Structure 1
């Protein structure tokens, strides 16, 4: 159950805990995420509050690890400035970050030539992330919905979704993708993962990748989950460029197809109208995943 996080609540939290910033204007951002509600704090900072208890554990992980990762990356990531404490009216930790300029990629129309360049930048980001020392990094678990862990966690959910979509997708082909994804494991040392690398969590400015945000799913483990963006955001030549430049093997890409398939299936199943734009988008993702096997 998500919380109602009002402007009045946020203003009170700032006044109570960070009075040095109480004079600054606060307003909600134009596009806020599901896991967190985000507000401007003046013109140079943002306030980010978990929308439910299941997302709250991510706050301290981000506060600890983002400053450690940042120096090793060519692209900006959120910079924590302060951590708010639970209060009478809001029971979780929350964060204040330095504001990063840019537009979420999921609200932009990007032509193929620029998309290919962004794909190469995303590949660079992942290659750099994977080289950072993972010592003592957080392992996959409930806090990040097992990103970086085994897809086996979602086996029953995936099979249930497939049984409900017999009339809408090629279920047998999808089962083959899923079986192949489950047949291999990441047998190398764990690497850092973002955990939710999606169009909504990358910022674009002047047709360039300017930042990667929302590291709530971060951890160490199998990097396959971060490759899902190849199907959810990239296409055609940009997808090929991304796959060529990310330094990972074919079995990791097979697991990536499994992660992408799972996500598309669980998004498609609850949609009552299987012909609306969102349903057609998910069906297209599934078809493209299947076509690559």
Structure 2
């Protein structure tokens, strides 16, 4: 039986310039002659490769991140006109093939320097620009947008999604005999998550978040 693209898993160790060159030549031959260079600061969920001077290739680095591809391709164009900072344009939607078992993307390259590699000239202006972007993004028109799921690591979803995992963590503490400081940091994360959820709709999510906060306050 011949193995199809969907029968294989993504191996992040194999995401290199040679693979990208094969994908581009196969699906976008008009760009096949452009130089390819991997970006060292390409993120965790995806690997990114410069394609010439004006484009960037973006590949999911694991199977769990594949659902992000279609979401980005659909929603970045919808958000571009609604926010005050540039968002890259989708230039190509790559498909799973014998070379790579998942969809992938080609975007416009937006030149700049990662914040982690520099310092803003004026931190106050930078903070104001960032706040303006976030406020605008929060009120952007997102009718029919994707609900929380694997594509977003279930961020913004009901806290019940993490119930089994949290029980495992409680069992793990007993097994590993974690010190109080480590456990306190974990409780702090739970408080942060519940505070995010407490303003969400529907009402059941707010009730669950309140329950988590009450349990933490009670010392559970």
Range class of TM-score, shorter chain: 0.7 to 0.9
CA distance in structure 1 between the partners assigned to 2:189 and 2:102 by the alignment: 39
Q: 1:146 aligns with which of 146, 154, 163?
A: 154
> TM-score, normalized by length of structure 1?
0.57
Closer, same or farther in 2 for the Cα pair 1:74/1:5, shift >3 Å? Answer: same
RMSD (Å) for aligned C-alpha atoms: 3.1
Q: In the TM superposition, what whole-angstrom CA distance separates every residue of 1:265-292 from its partner, at most 9, and x where no partner exists?
A: xxxxxxxxxxxxxxxxxxxxxxxxxxxx
The list of structure 1 runs, each at least 4 consecutive aligned residues, that deviate by more than 6 angstroms after superposition, is: none
Closer, same or farther in 2 for the Cα pair 1:19/1:170, shift >3 Å? Answer: closer
Q: 2:94 aligns with which of 61, 78, 84?
A: 84
Contact 2:94 2:105 in 1 (8 A): yes
Q: 2:30 aligns with which of 20, 41, 49?
A: 20
CA distance in structure 2 between the partners assigned to 1:180 and 1:85 by the alignment: 38
CA distance in structure 2 between the partners assigned to 1:155 and 1:22 by the alignment: 48
Question: Superposed, which structure 2 residues align to 1:48-67 within 5 Å?
Answer: 48-67=58-77
Question: Superposed, which structure 2 residues align to 1:241-260 within 5 Å?
Answer: none
Contact 1:152 1:182 in 2 (8 A): no
> TM-score, normalized by length of structure 2?
0.74
Question: How many pairs are equivalent?
Answer: 191
The Cα shift of 1:114 comes to 2.6
CA distance in structure 1 between the partners assigned to 2:186 and 2:100 by the alignment: 43
Q: In the TM superposition, what whole-angstrom CA distance separates every residue of 1:115-161 from its partner, at most 9, and x where no partner exists?
A: 33222222111110111122100010122111122344335545727
5+ long unaligned stretches in structure 1: 190-221, 223-250, 259-293
Closer, same or farther in 2 for the Cα pair 1:180/1:92, shift >3 Å? Answer: closer
Structure 2 counterpart of 1:182: 194
CA distance in structure 2 between the partners assigned to 1:61 and 1:176 by the alignment: 31
Q: In the TM superposition, what whole-angstrom CA distance separates every residue of 1:34-68 from its partner, at most 9, and x where no partner exists?
A: 21111010001100111111111111111111111
Q: In the TM superposition, what whole-angstrom CA distance separates every residue of 1:239-273 from its partner, at most 9, and x where no partner exists?
A: xxxxxxxxxxxx9xx99xx9xxxxxxxxxxxxxxx
Closer, same or farther in 2 for the Cα pair 1:170/1:14, shift >3 Å? Answer: closer
CA distance in structure 2 between the partners assigned to 1:39 and 1:176 by the alignment: 37
> Which deviates more from structure 2 when the two are superposed, residues 2-11 or residues 62-71?
2-11
Q: Report 1 or 2 for greater relative contact order, CA contacts < 8 Å, sequence distance ≥ 6.
A: 1
Closer, same or farther in 2 for the Cα pair 1:116/1:32, shift >3 Å? Answer: same
Q: In the TM superposition, what whole-angstrom CA distance separates every residue of 1:176-217 from its partner, at most 9, and x where no partner exists?
A: 77358537633459xxxxxxxxxxxxxxxxxxxxxxxxxxxx
5+ long unaligned stretches in structure 2: 1-9, 214-220
CA distance in structure 2 between the partners assigned to 1:174 and 1:50 by the alignment: 29
Is it true that 1:117 corresponds to 2:125 in the alignment?
yes
Q: 1:6 aligns with which of 8, 16, 30?
A: 16
Contact 1:70 1:76 in 2 (8 A): yes
SS of the residue aligned with 2:122?
helix
Contact 1:38 1:49 in 2 (8 A): yes
CA distance in structure 2 between the partners assigned to 1:86 and 1:19 by the alignment: 16
SS of the residue aligned with 2:143?
coil
SS of the residue aligned with 1:186?
coil
